[in-house]
Structure 1
Amino acid sequence: MMTDLPKNKQALAVSLSLNGNAKRTAMGIEVEELNTDEGMSNLINVLDNLFLKDSLDSMYEAYQNFDKFQRPENMSISEYIIEFDQRYLKSTKFEITLPDAVLSFKLLDKSGLDYQQRQLTLTACASSELKYKNMKSALKRIFGESNVIPSNEEPIVKQETALYATTSRKQKSRNFPRSDTGKSNRFRNGNPTNRYGKVTKCSICQSVLHWWRECPHKSEAVRLTETDELEHKETEMEECNITLLSHDEYCPSKIF
């Protein structure tokens, strides 16, 4: 269809255009066999004997070419569907066909999508019958020309130091009027502050001028529990700041 050469000249022209083993094989054919109207058929038969694979080998090669195909990361979903179709079409020439559902699932499995992306595609197909064309349509609608990369990486867990503060159990307030009559000489200017900068209070009458030991309402209060007493002791210990000084002039024989 593409040449004006007469049929008896076509085989000779094709033989001269070949390369490598094909050309050497063609040149071994008698000129009389090529210079006829059946010359092209004679040439093709000779070349087929040398290069044409066995039908079973060709069938297996077509199947392997289709079955082992996996979408590369740099290929968009649309390009992947086109390539998948072409490979499957070649296998159908050898009567290798798959049911529609199996072909649909294979298209999805070979797409390189992660679990969540596959589930999203299946959800899009749920509203229609499971057909190969419907699976292709769902993939195109969701991902289209995008180069989808599976997100299979484990989530990054970043550990950082957390700073927190604890507060002691609040003292139970007792219904006693505040009194300053029990003020001791230790706290002439009021109770000292705690570690948070708040003025400490008497646990009995809530006065800020004395602690529970000097409280005038102590005899009227409900007896403190052992837990309360321990808490008072801890509070006193926490609020007591001691500075130790050492100097050779004062204590030459000891190291503090």
Structure 2
Amino acid sequence: MSGGPGWKLLGAVALGSAAVTAIVVTVAMRPADEATAGNQVRAYLLDNPEVIPEAMEKLHERETAKAIASNRKALETPFAGAWSGAKDGDVVLVQFFDYACGYCRASLPDVQRLVAADKRVKVVFRELPILSEASEDAARVSLAAAGLNRFGAFHDAMYAAGRPAEATIEAASRKAGLDSAAVTTATHSPPVEAELAGNVRLARALGISGTPAWVVGDKVLSGAVGYDRLKKAVDEARAGD
């Protein structure tokens, strides 16, 4: 819509519930009318304040979707062998995790179940060791294992061993069959340093501040959400919802 000087388009103020409760103000008006329209919108918001959090949530979802789209390639490209499931899956589920995170450990069976049940999903693991120095040590060995095609073995063994510590990391490394010399060389290599720094940047870009966090489709899920929620998110991404 266009008009001469002094005309404006007050674009869609869409505020409502899931049942499509909304007001949409799309009018061409002269400046003298703008105050009246503004007062009407203000009055609606004061009478229906419950729509404001919903509108803010919708805005947050849109901003999150934009951030994911801008970083999708980096998010969905695994570090070496730090992935499971279908190599060319039609949906990619990204997990940010920390070996010191009990909720991440509790989520491991859910991820394993999802991969076993859905032969078209790919899970990409992103190390985000934010809880302790020991969790960073475990993350570095995990990335070294990924470079040696032993990520899955170390990942499972590390969670089974308990909270990250020198003894549990060494025990997990032995169980995963890692070569200690190769691991020592890799843990502080440029690729590992770049991966850890890159994961922090990605987490910040998406507003992720804790683990586990999941990225699938255009959504970010936080916490140990369980198998059913992960499956639903994968199904929604596959359907384009």
Structure 2 length as normaliser, TM-score?
0.23
TM-score norm. by structure 1 comes to 0.22
Q: Bigger radius of gyration, 1 or 2?
A: 1
* Larger helix share, 1 or 2: 2
Q: Which structure is richer in relative contact order (CA contacts within 8 A, separation 6 or more)?
A: 2
